[in-house]
Structure 1
């Protein structure tokens, strides 16, 4: 019995040390800026929105660079409306999205599976008449070249079928104006929904942090 207790005690200690290293790395990576110096006079405004845990991009539905409805049609939503001005994108674990429409629905098994077990991912797409400011939102003015790189990054995150079309997730909606689609990669402790957002910013030569699994790291760079 004493050996068993020592074994579990060592295992718990090792786990706590790993968790401490993880959070220290997250704080350190979040504090290190990338692409700190930005050109002046960006003529395209995008938004970053967080619910306190998860970050989304918000883009214009249509401009001279990208017409998003040609890739993700509003026909996939329950309302099927087409008169939107903005569109938001969030990436994450598919089963997490299916089982956790509200954070109050979060269960320990769902969280552990999303973080530690390889599983399919999904893109949450929502059409909006205007960005919602009921949650923390920041606006970012970017250049056409930066937006073009960001558009490419987001579009390439969708999984496509043999015909090159997005793949909707059947019967999954949070409201009348959203839809979910199959996406590439799998979420884990080192590549979270916020890491996906941060990597997109870095890819587009926008302000970002070196690495972060949390939304705080992204918003810290735009404080």
Structure 2
């Protein structure tokens, strides 16, 4: 009986390891296949991509001829209540992960497993910045007005809205004086991560991206 139990768990562990291996192989292949690689570089608008080593954010101008983000997310949502910032960053991810993991050192196994395997709510993390924070790896990208407009539509669509079309803030959740969290659409899983969200936005805008990636390395490799 004990031998059968051991064999059962050994087979289960082997199957799990095989699936994990296939996942990483698929991620490697998907990250290596470029999308929009023939795009002509250049444009009048500068945006940024920033990573903390695991999670990627978009950084956009707060206001230009295409979009004034303060019409959608003003300073009343942040603790400092200050306005007149030059840039605004957007990150998408699992709400409970954001809530329980302000620093990567706070990450626990249950939080990670819940984020990846359970259909939990997602959130947008928004931070006002002047100038953009360069304390983490950050790359500038010159985009055209049309490309930026597509990115604006993509990010705006990702927010959950109320019946009046307003964004829905997550109460009492902040990392600093100039940020806020908002309820977002979709749910994070192993095939649709925070980096997949950024990569899909780049693809929609016709910018260099990966065929599919759950990680940040594939995205940033396209801009080195």
TM-score scaled by structure 1? 0.99
Q: Do 1:61 and 1:86's aligned partners in 2 also have CA atoms closer than 8 Å?
A: yes
Could you report, residue by residue, the CA deviation over 1:139-196 in whole angstroms, capped at 9, with x for unpaired residues? 0001110000000000000000111100000000000000000000000000000000
Could you report, residue by residue, the CA deviation over 1:4-63 in whole angstroms, capped at 9, with x for unpaired residues? 000000000000000000000001110110000122431110000000000000000000
Could you report, residue by residue, the CA deviation over 1:41-93 in whole angstroms, capped at 9, with x for unpaired residues? 31110000000000000000000000001111121000011110000000000
Q: Do 1:30 and 1:220's aligned partners in 2 also have CA atoms closer than 8 Å?
A: no
Q: Do 1:88 and 1:126's aligned partners in 2 also have CA atoms closer than 8 Å?
A: yes
TM-score scaled by structure 2? 0.99
Q: Distance in 2 between matches of 1:191 and 1:219?
A: 18
1:202 counterpart SS class: helix
How is 1:142-221 mapped onto 2 (pairs within 5 angstroms)? 142-221=143-222
For structure 1, the 5+ residue unaligned runs are: none
Q: Any runs of at least 4 consecutive aligned residues in structure 1 with deviations exceeding 6 A, and if so which? A: none
Q: Give the length in aligned residue pairs.
A: 223
Could you report, residue by residue, the CA deviation over 1:89-118 in whole angstroms, capped at 9, with x for unpaired residues? 000000000000011110100000000000
Match of 1:83 in 2: 84
2:116 counterpart SS class: helix
Q: Distance in 1 between matches of 2:177 and 2:112?
A: 26
- The answer to whether the aligner puts 1:6 opposite 2:7 as a matched pair is yes
Q: Distance in 1 between matches of 2:53 and 2:41?
A: 29
For structure 2, the 5+ residue unaligned runs are: none
1:156 counterpart SS class: helix
Q: 1:119: Cα distance to partner?
A: 0.3
- C-alpha RMSD of the superposition: 0.6
